[in-house]
Amino acid sequence: MPTSQPRHERIVQRFHSIVPTVDFCSLRLVRTQSQYLSVRQNILQPVSTSDDEGAMVTVIDNGGLGYAATSDLSETGLRHAAEQARSWARRSAGRSVVDFSSVAFPRPSGAYASPVQLTWDSLPLADKIDLLRATSEQLKTDERIVDWEASLWHTDSETLFVTADGGQVQQNFSYLVPMMSATANAGTETQTRTFAGRGYCRQGGMELLDQCAFRDAAPQIAAEALELLLAPNCPTGTMDVLLAPDQMILQIHESIGHPLELDRILGDERNYAGTSFVTPDMFGTYRYGSELLNITFDPTRPEEFASYAFDDDGQPARREYLIREGVLVRGLGSTTSQARLGLPGVANARATSWNRPPIDRMANLNLEPGQSRFTDMIAAIERGVYMQTNVSWSIDDSRNKFQFGCEWGRLIENGQLTTVVKNPNYRGVSATFWRSLKMVGASETLEVLGSPYCGKGEPNQVIRVGHASPPCIFVNVEVFGGE
């Protein structure tokens, strides 16, 4: 997306001309342009593009906070939005969870852009369709493959954040989500294998396709779908599990990311997304996992899906340890949550788009690599299951009792990978599971992944998150298969 500098300057001028006399006022402009291309069963599905733009005006006055979102970016439209926001600020003054006038919001200045080597438009539409068609054809390797699909989802997003007192931040993001899947069927058995779910989502350009070997992946995905058709069910019992990075990201997301969000701990999410087993007194002392567990909030890794220089409150973002050598040290909370709780947090006030207010989101949440080589990890397991690619996720509202399932499993017996098994599932309790972390893969095993779909908030918001992780071993886990 070309930078809209003159247009931005006009909107900034309009904003400054309509700012009401209040304690604080900001404008957050978001323009998002997307294209989705998909070839299913070798047939191009309807091409879909979208161009969405609007702005949110936020007002703080006399302790109350109000917002108004509009796609009318004229002076009249912004003035009307500011009036609505001020009206809400007045109505909520003295009735809010915190005196918002007491929260020190930043006056930011800066810019950010995703690192893009080959832009989306550098490859003509016809060539992108040809790539997907070729990938689709590679997925249909057998009559038992009954459905197959390859897709690319590209998004450019441009944000402008301006405060009435002179702050200004512009950030340009380029996202790419490559995906493919193959579904195999025989009778009442159906198995699907995918390209790490949608895990290979990153910031950047078309060069990402080579980084994640998109062009070469189809034959193996089809072969593994067929392999699963004939595979026995995952055994039941207590054993070790070796989780691949594309399952680790889900484990991190659900049982570390969400419980550490300070707005959950504050209770904001209880009516919908839930609360947390983590309480404020745990920070600094609570043993979350074994000494091998190191978790960082890292918006600085350039290719990761949720990298940025400033959050949606304009707070500068930097890498922080949340869990260090197994001990909980910091939560995932933005400026407002930090002020409400009196605890340190991170720059993670984020909104899905212009039409939703920022809330605490996990952005990039990574499990730092350890020392183990992959072959040594296999060799260390006497009886266990190696699981790849999340397919089922469920966890209680306190983010404690979880049950997750994977697409593909393989037994590990006496230090060797053996039989492929289908429907591998495992369950446990967050508060004890991470303490059973026994081995963490070294840096060469780490994969940078993420998800386009993290749901939270009232009103609802689905946001992008990034996760990087090596494979990990957990001991004495409750494992089971299908019916």
Piece of 76-84, 208-216, 326-334, 362-370 that binds another protein (CB under 8 A):
76-84
Answer yes or no whether residue 230 interacts with another protein by CB under 8 A.
no
The interface mask with another protein, positions 395-414, x = CB under 8 A, is: xxxx--x-x-x---------
Q: How far is CA 345 from the centre of its chain?
A: 18
Pairwise CA distance, residues 78 & 18, whole Å: 7
CB of 278 to another protein, least distance (A): 12
**Which one, 296 or 388, has the nearer CB to another protein?**
388
Dihedrals φ, ψ of 467, to 5°? -140, 135
Pick between residue 66 and residue 370 the one whose CB is nearest to another protein.
66
Do 56 and 25 touch, CB atoms closer than 8 A? no
Strands 202-203 and 461-469: unpaired
Residues contacting 117, CB < 8 A, separation 6+: 204, 205, 206, 207
Residues touching another protein, count (CB under 8 A)? 82
Identity of residue 188:
T
DSSP state of 306: T
Question: To the nearest whole angstrom, how small is the minimum distance from the Cβ of residue 467 to another protein?
Answer: 19
161: closest CA among 298, 297, 31, 346?
31
- Cα separation, 444 vs 210, in Å, equals 17
Please list every residue from 445 through 464 that binds another protein, using CB under 8 A: 455, 458-462
Question: Given candidates 333, 357, 441, 452, which one binds another protein under the rule CB under 8 A?
Answer: 357
Determine, following the binding rule CB under 8 A, whether residue 266 of this chain makes contact with another protein. yes
Residue ranges in 169-198 that form contacts with another protein under rule CB under 8 A: 183, 185, 187-190, 192
Distance from the Cα of residue 154 to its chain's centroid: 16
Chain mean position to CA 294: 18
Q: Does residue 52 touch another protein according to CB under 8 A?
A: yes
| Cα–Cα distance, 129 to 137 (Å, whole number) | 12
389 scored as a contact of another protein (CB under 8 A): no
Q: How far is the CB of 445 from another protein (least distance, A)?
A: 28
Which range of residues in 78-86, 172-180, 201-209, 304-312 is near another protein by CB under 8 A?
A: 78-86
* Interacting positions 125-144 with another protein (CB under 8 A): 125-126, 129
Decide: helix, strand or coil at residue 315.
coil
Residue 48 in the binding site for another protein (CB under 8 A): yes
Q: Which stretch binds another protein (CB under 8 A): 15-23, 38-46, 165-173, 377-385?
A: 38-46
Nearer of residues 186 and 213 to another protein, judged by Cβ: 186
Residues of span 89-108 touching another protein by CB under 8 A? 91-92, 95-97
Nearer to another protein, 260 or 266 (CB): 266
**Nearest residue to 332 (alpha-carbon basis) of 263, 249, 272, 271:** 263
Among 267, 280, 284, 302, binds another protein (CB under 8 A): 267
The distance of closest approach from Cβ of residue 218 to another protein in the complex, given in angstroms and rounded to an integer, is 18
* 295-to-120, 260, 291, 298 alpha-carbon distances in Å: 32, 11, 11, 9
Q: What is the largest CA-CA distance in the chain?
A: 72
Q: Whose Cβ is closer to another protein: residue 67's or residue 173's?
A: 67
Compute the least distance from the CB of residue 191 to another protein, in Å: 8
Which residue's CB is nearer to another protein, number 359 or number 381?
359
Local structure of residue 281 (DSSP, 8 states): G
CA-based nearest residue to 13, from 61, 56, 84, 74: 74
Residue among 23, 121, 147, 303 that touches another protein (CB under 8 A):
147
| 268-327 positions binding another protein, by CB under 8 A | 268, 270-272, 274-275
